[in-house]
Structure 1
Amino acid sequence: MGSPGLHKARDKMADAGVDEVAIDTFAHYYRLLEHGETGMVPESTIDPVDMPSLADVEVDPDVAAEAIRHTAVIKLNGGLGTSMGMERAKSLLCVRRGLSFLDIIARQVLHLRKEHDATLPLMFMNSFRTSADTMAALARYEDLPVDGLPLEFLQNKEPKLLAADLMPVSYPKDPDLEWCPPGHGDVYTALRGTGLLDLLIERGFRHVFISNSDNLGAVPDPQVAGWFAASGAPFAIEAVRRTPSDRKGGHFARRKSDGRIVLRESAQTPKEDAEALADLDRHRYCSTNNLWFDLDAMKQALDVRQGILGLPLIKNTKHVDPGDPSTPEVIQVETAMGAAIEVFDGSALIEVGRDRFVPVKTTNDLLVLRSDVYQVGSDFVLDQVATDVPFIDLDSDYYKLVGEFDKRFPEGAPSLAKASSLRVVGDYTFGRDVQVVGDVALDSADAERVDQGAVLHGDADA
C-alpha cells in the first residue's frame, strides 16, 4: 500500500511530469527514511584507504588516444551559485578575458577533439533553472553539438518532505521552493530515464567522464582516460590529498564488512566521529568529483536493479525557504554520484594532482582563479604557475556576493603568484596591478582603497 506521504509525493511528481524512473528511485529512498535510515557511516565500520598515483602510472600513448576516442563527457551544471548571490547558472561567471566557465569548457573539448581526432561529445546535466541560460551561452559554439546526441539533459526534481511527518510540503508563497534536486547521484537515474545511456552505447562509446562545471581543472585528459581503460575497472574516481581546508569535507575509506571502497560525506559522519573525519593523517584522500565509468557496466548495474542503483542515502535537513529559518523544517533526500564506487566490484581510485581539482565554491576561490596563480594556455587548460595556491579569506560582509566582490576588484584580481595568504577584514577596494607577497592581512573598521601598483608584503596591516 505505502504511506499517505509517499502516495502524495508520487502523485505530485507524476503531475509535474517527472520521469517514472526518478519517481521509483525517490520512492526507494522515502521507504528508507520511513524505516529510520540515516545514511550514517560510523568510524568503527571503516578503515583508511590507499591508492596509486597518476604521476607513477605509465600510459601507452596509443592506449590513451584510443580511450579518449571512445569517451563521452558530462558536466554537472545544475547549480545557480545562490551562495554567492547569483540567480543564473554559476558556470556563466566570468573567469578571465571575458571567458566564462562554459566558454573555457567548450574550448577545452573542441581543442581535444582536433588534437586527438576524437568525437568527444560534451553534454551538460542542467536543472530547469540553468537550462535556458546555458544553452543560450553555448549557441555561439556551432561545432560543439555532436550529431544524434543532445547537448543537454535535465536533472530530476523531487518534493521536499516535512520533517514532522514526511508529507510533501506545500508552500503557496513560492511553489518552486516545494521542490529540490535529488543530489548529483541523480545523474545515473537521468541518464537511464532519458535513454541517453543506451544511446551512447549504440553510438560506440565505452566510457563516460563526469565532473562539475565549476572545476576547470577537470579536463577529459587522455592519460587519465588511458589509465582507466587499461585498468579494466567498471568505475573510478580521481582523488587528491586532503589539506587543512578539507578537514570538514568527505573522504574515501574501505568498509570493513565487505572490503569495498566507500565515499563518506560529512553529512554521513556521526557527531562523535567528527575528530576522525578531520584527521588528515588517517583519512588522507578526498574526492575531486571527477568520475569515470564503463557504459556497459553501468547499464548492467542499473538493469539488474530495475533502474535504482541504490546509492547510500544522504538525509539533508533544511528549511522550506533556506533563507528564512522561520519556515517549516524539511528533509531533502539526496545521493552523491561518487557513492556509486561501492556499487561495483573492482572499482578503482587514482591520486591526481591538485591541478585537476580547482573548484569554485566561494568568491575566495574565484579570486584565486582570476589571478595570475593560473594561466590559461592555447589548449584552454589551467596551468598553475605559482608554486603554491594561496589561502584566501575575504570578509564575508563585503565580498561574499559576486556583485559586491566585483565592485571591490574593479580592475581585476591582484597578483597572487607570490602570495601565501591574503586575509581581509573590512571593506577594501583594490586598484590596478596590486601585488600580494607572502602572508598579508588587511584589517580596518573604515572603508579603504589599496592604491594602483601597491605591493602588499607580509607585514602589511592597514
Structure 2
Amino acid sequence: MSGRSGGLEKARAKMLDAGVDPVAIETFAHYYRLLEHGETGMIPESTIAPVDMESLADVEVDADVAADAIGKTVAIKLNGGLGTSMGMERAKSLLCVRRGLSFLDIIARQALHLRQKYDARLPLLLMNSFRTSADTLHALGRYEDLPVDGLPLEFLQNKEPKLLTSDLTPVSWPKDPDLEWCPPGHGDVYTALRGAGLIATMIEQGYRYVFVSNSDNLGAVPDPRLAGWFAASGAPFAIEAVRRTPSDRKGGHFAQRKADGRIVLRETAQTLPEDLEALADLDRHRFTSTNNLWFDLHAMKAMLDDREGILGLPLIRNVKPVDPTDPASPEVVQIETAMGAAIEIFDGARLIEVGRDRFIPVKTTNDLLVLRSDVYEIGADFALTQVATDIPYVDLDSGYYRTIHEFDQRFPDGEPLLSQSTALRVRGDWTFGRGVRVLGEVELEGRGPQRVPAGEVLGSPSADQGADD
C-alpha cells in the first residue's frame, strides 16, 4: 500500500472513531482521491466566458404565487463560523449588531415576522458546527415560537481531518487536538442535510423549496417575491447574484463554461496566478455570489440519490498552517467545497440579479462598523434598509481594530455616523467619542493614542480627503 493510500485509510479510521457520518466519510474519500491524483480545482480563464442574467427588479411575481411559495419554503442559515478573524472564540452570529440585538436575534425576528405576515410555517434551521451549537441553541432559547413541529432547530456540519501537504496523512497536533479537524466548507450543507435525514423529512411534511444563506448576512431575508420567482421558474437550483464593486475584486464570480454552457462559480482559490487580472476585471466578470441560494427539494433528493449521496462539487484545495495563529506550524491541506458550486451540477439552474441590500456580509470589523452605523435602518419587520446613498468604504488600522475587543474599546459610546460618508480610513490608535459624524472622504492619521471628541464633524461632503480632528 502506498503512503498516500495509507493516508486515506488513516483519515477514514480517524473519522470513524470520531463518529462522522458514513456518507460524509465517503464524500471526503472522493475528494481525497482527486487530491491524490493532482486535482487542484483550478478553472482557467481560457475555459470560461462572462455570463448575463435577469434582474429581480424587472421580474413580475404574482402575489398569490409568492405567498404560496413562501408557505412551502424552509430557511437554512449557515452558522458554523466562529468569527476567528475578529478574535472571537464563539459563534460570530452572537455578535451584537445594534439595540442589544445579535445577528441571531434579528434572524429569528425576521422569520417570526414573515410567518405572521404570510401565515406561513417557514421553519428556520441552523447548520451549526460542533463549536457553535451549544451557544447558538442557548441564545435562541428565548424564542419559544421559533421551533416548528417535526423539524429540529439545528443540524450539524460535518468535520474532516486536515492533511499534511507532505504526504496527505492526517495531521497530529497534540497541543490542541481540535485543530486537527476542519469543516469541509459550506458545500457540506447537502451532505449534512441528507445525513440527518432532513431532505426526506422536509418533503414528507410538504415543503418544496429551501433558501440557504449565511448567518452573517442580515440582508438575506427569505423573500416571498424571490420564492415566487423561483417556484414559477421551475428551476432545480438558483443563486442570487449582485454586481461586483471594487471591494469584490478579489472575490469569486459567475461565468459560463465554454465546454457545456453550464454556469460555474469560480472562487479566488480556483484561479490560476496568471488569471488573477481577469478575475479582478469588473467589466468582464460583472457578477458575484451573495451565497443566498434556492433549491428544489425533489430535484436535490433525486440528484443525491442518483449519486449515492456524493454531489461531486468542484474541489477547493485550501493550504494553511495547522494552527492559523502560528505561521511556522506544519502546512496542511483543507479539502473544501462551496455550496454555490452546485449550480454547475443541475441542468436548468438559474441566476438572478438582486439589489446590494440582500448582500451585507460581515467578515471584518470594517464591515461591522458600517452595519452598526446609521447607513442602515432596522424596520418593524427586522429587515435592514440602506438609508445612505452609498455604502462607505471603511479601512480601520488592523493593528488597533482587528479584534472585536480592540474595536469595542475604541468606540465606547457608539459608532460614528457614516450615512453621509464615502470613505473612512483610520491609521493609528483613535478612540471615538459619542455622535461623531463623518462627511465625504476622511483619513485619520496619528502617532500614539488619539481621540475624536464627542459630536465632532470630520470632513465635508465635497472633500476629497482630509479631516478636522
TM range, smaller chain? over 0.9
Q: Which amino acid aligns with 2:440?
A: G
Q: Which amino acid aligns with 1:166?
A: L
Residue pairs, 1:58-457, within 5 angstroms: 58-457=60-459
Question: Aligned to 1:375, what secondary structure does the other structure show?
Answer: strand
* Deviation of 1:326 (Å): 1.5
**Within 2, Cα distance between the matches of 1:118 and 1:412?**
37
TM-score (norm 2): 0.98
Question: Aligned to 1:109, what secondary structure does the other structure show?
Answer: helix
**Within 1, Cα distance between the matches of 2:8 and 2:399?**
42
Aligned to 2:20: 18
Question: Aligned to 2:422, what secondary structure does the other structure show?
Answer: strand
Q: Does the 8 A contact of 2:374 with 2:418 survive in 1?
A: yes
Gaps (5+ residues) in structure 1?
none
CA displacement 1:410-442 (0-9 Å, x = unmatched): 111111111011000011111111100100110
**Within 1, Cα distance between the matches of 2:362 and 2:52?**
27
Aligned to 2:31: 29
CA displacement 1:45-76 (0-9 Å, x = unmatched): 00000000000000000000000000000000
Question: Aligned to 1:75, what secondary structure does the other structure show?
Answer: strand
Which stretches of structure 1, 4 residues or more, deviate above 2 A after TM superposition?
Answer: none
Aligned to 1:460: 467
**Within 1, Cα distance between the matches of 2:423 and 2:330?**
40
**Within 1, Cα distance between the matches of 2:242 and 2:341?**
16
**Within 2, Cα distance between the matches of 1:246 and 1:426?**
26
Q: Does the 8 A contact of 1:160 with 1:168 survive in 2?
A: yes
Q: Does the 8 A contact of 1:441 with 1:461 survive in 2?
A: no
CA displacement 1:156-207 (0-9 Å, x = unmatched): 0000001000001111111111100000000000000000111000000000
CA displacement 1:347-376 (0-9 Å, x = unmatched): 000000000000000000000000100000
**Within 2, Cα distance between the matches of 1:273 and 1:46?**
11
Q: Which amino acid aligns with 2:133?
A: S
**Within 2, Cα distance between the matches of 1:173 and 1:373?**
44
CA displacement 1:283-325 (0-9 Å, x = unmatched): 0000000000000000000000000000000000011111112
TM-score (norm 1): 0.99
Aligned to 2:6: 4
Q: Which amino acid aligns with 1:230?
A: A
Q: Which amino acid aligns with 2:236?
A: P
**Within 1, Cα distance between the matches of 2:23 and 2:468?**
58
Q: Does the 8 A contact of 1:426 with 1:444 survive in 2?
A: yes
Question: Aligned to 1:14, what secondary structure does the other structure show?
Answer: helix
* Deviation of 1:446 (Å): 2.2
**Within 1, Cα distance between the matches of 2:141 and 2:11?**
36
1:51 aligned to which of 43, 50, 53: 53
Q: Which amino acid aligns with 1:6?
A: L
Q: Which amino acid aligns with 2:455?
A: G
Q: Which amino acid aligns with 2:253?
A: H
**Within 1, Cα distance between the matches of 2:264 and 2:335?**
19
**Within 2, Cα distance between the matches of 1:325 and 1:226?**
48
Q: Does the 8 A contact of 1:319 with 1:328 survive in 2?
A: yes
**Within 2, Cα distance between the matches of 1:15 and 1:331?**
21
**Within 2, Cα distance between the matches of 1:164 and 1:443?**
45
- Identity among equivalent pairs (%): 77
Q: Which amino acid aligns with 2:24?
A: A
Q: Does the 8 A contact of 2:373 with 2:416 survive in 1?
A: yes
**Within 1, Cα distance between the matches of 2:374 and 2:328?**
43
* Deviation of 1:461 (Å): 5.3
Q: Does the 8 A contact of 2:72 with 2:122 survive in 1?
A: yes
Q: Does the 8 A contact of 1:443 with 1:461 survive in 2?
A: no
Q: Which amino acid aligns with 1:149?
A: L
